[in-house]
Amino acid sequence: MGNALTPDPVTIRVSAAARLDRLPISRFHKQLMWLLAYVFFFELGDLNNFGLAAPELRLQWHLSIETVGFITSAAFVGMFVGALGGGWFSDKLGRKKSLIATTMWYSGFSLTNALAWDETGLLATRFLTGVGLAAMTVVAITYISEMFPAAKRGTYQGWAMVIGLFGIPFTALAARIFIPMATFGWRLVFVWGGLGIFIIIFTSKIEESPRWYESKKRFAEADAVLDRIEAKVIAQSGPLPKVVAPKTPADAPAAASGGLFSSFYLKRSLMLIGVYVFQTLGIFGFMAWVPTLLASRGFGVSQALLLASLMYIGAPIGAVIAAIISDKWERKYLIAIAALIIAAFGILYGLSSKTVPITIFGFLVAMFLQVFAPLLYAYTPEIYPTAVRTSGSGIAYGAGRLANGFGPLLVAFLFTKFGYESVFVYIAAMWILVAVTVTAFGPKTRGISLA
């Protein structure tokens, strides 16, 4: 215990937030962005590959729309389990271990999708793949928020997604090439989704989050990581700016045991849960069903996959827009605006019957979906303190995935009972609810240092 003449070393220690937030963007940050983009590339491809393979599987295995819905739902139930488990694992054992383990999990089980023997086997492997997909996402978005300076974390969340989102059109293109190639071509689409497994090569490039070390009171390890990061930045950029007190929200209580369930954070969690439920139903009501719904309107499987590929090119363009605007204005309002634009273009897509307007409006929906996603991914970890950041993010993310356990069944019901257009009215309604929820109940976070 310190005395009046000897200050306690912990009390005079400079926090990880203060040291990280003063850093200029360097080669260290950019290498980290590329690594995260790599895992997002195959995660986002894997998230969409069943939707791309489904039209061919319906022909080969004589699947009904309802069965496709059940298999899609199984993946989302798995995502609920993964988001909760991955969030807990990350807060307990660290961001680095969690990022590697969850990427290996989703990649390994994606490979098992390629070995599925019937719809029951595929349902099981899609469930297990979903566990890893969601777990990796909540860990990765938290890791980005904790490793980048406050003034740039939204921007680099966007740039990681820009590169990662090429996984969607590239996976659609892979499906376009593999599926017509042979009767087993759809299996190669799932092999493609498993290539994230090579993250094992890059583990030495990943540092543990010093904010996480601090939350566990492992100050020496936090300082060792910060020293290594600062040495790399100094070697490239020269002397660092002076440390200044980080800007933190005045109304946020200190993180304590059970803090996630305090009235303060519970209100934030309920807001985020609403946003994630509505946006997940909206996103996957569109993305996962596009090829199947196009095929049902008379487009051949190959033509439906080609149109889907053209639409998905809009995804990385949207993430570029998000990277440019994310740190310029308050994120909650950007999220709401993007949601309303998606609702409008989604309705226009659903009302179109010709190839050109379907492609144009589908492209615009895909583009603004990925303006929205990086903004929300940057916003979510900002809501919570470090000790429970991934757990809180995982609860919200997982709730959305659980809701989409019945979402595909609802799409199948609407399509069967009320027709193609009704699906897109439902999707637009979900996006309007996103805009209302975040505008009315979301806190402002721009430029705030993470607690």
Has residue 254 been placed in a domain?
Answer: no
Residue 11, pLDDT score: 44
Residue 338, pLDDT score: 95
Give dist(CA 341, CA 364) in Å, integer: 9
Residue 384, pLDDT score: 86
Has residue 392 been placed in a domain?
Answer: yes
* Nearest one of 39, 15, 25 to 154, comparing CA atoms: 25
Which residues neighbour 10 within 8 Å (Cβ) at sequence distance 6 or greater?
Answer: 219
Q: How many CB atoms lie within 10 A of CB 65?
A: 18
Has residue 322 been placed in a domain?
Answer: yes
Annotate 245-264 with b (16+ C-beta within 10 A) or e (fewer). Answer: ebeeeeebeebeeebbeeee
Q: For residue 65, give its domain range.
A: 16-238+259-441
Give dist(CA 322, CA 158) in Å, integer: 6
Amino acid at 178: F
Token couple for 80:
């609920």
Residue 253, pLDDT score: 54
6-50, pLDDT tens digit by residue?
334 444 567 888 888 889 999 999 999 999 999 999 898 887 788
286-330, pLDDT tens digit by residue?
665 666 666 666 666 666 667 776 777 777 788 889 989 988 889
* Nearest one of 18, 223, 37, 194 to 104, comparing CA atoms: 194
Return the H-helix or E-strand segment holding 164.
helix 153-164
Has residue 271 been placed in a domain?
Answer: yes
How far is the CA of 95 from the CAs of 83, 215, 394, 447, in angstroms? 14, 12, 13, 23
CA dihedral (103, 108, 114, 119) positive or negative: negative
Has residue 251 been placed in a domain?
Answer: no
Token couple for 50:
């069943």
Residue 162: alpha-carbon gap to chain centroid:
12
Which residues neighbour 60 within 8 Å (Cβ) at sequence distance 6 or greater?
Answer: 183, 186
- Residue whose token pair is 């023997």: 117
Count of domains forming the chain: 1
* Nearest one of 386, 21, 8 to 226, comparing CA atoms: 21
Give dist(CA 110, CA 115) in Å, integer: 9
Has residue 3 been placed in a domain?
Answer: no
User: Which regions of the chain are under pLDDT 70?
Assistant: 1-13, 245-261, 285-305, 309, 353, 405, 420, 451
220-254, pLDDT tens digit by residue?
999 999 999 999 999 888 888 787 766 665 455 55
Has residue 360 been placed in a domain?
Answer: yes
Give dist(CA 315, CA 367) in Å, integer: 4
Nearest-5° Cα angle at 311, 308 to 312: 85
What's the residue count for the chain?
451
Q: Is 286 left (phi over 0), alpha (psi -120 to 50) or beta?
A: alpha
Contact 48, 168 (CB under 8 A): yes
Residue 1, pLDDT score: 40
pTM: 0.79
Within 13 Å of residue 112, how many CA atoms lie on the same side as its CB? 17
Give dist(CA 101, CA 93) in Å, integer: 11
Has residue 58 been placed in a domain?
Answer: yes
Contact 382, 141 (CB under 8 A): no
CATH number of the domain that 383 lies in?
A: 1.20.1250.20
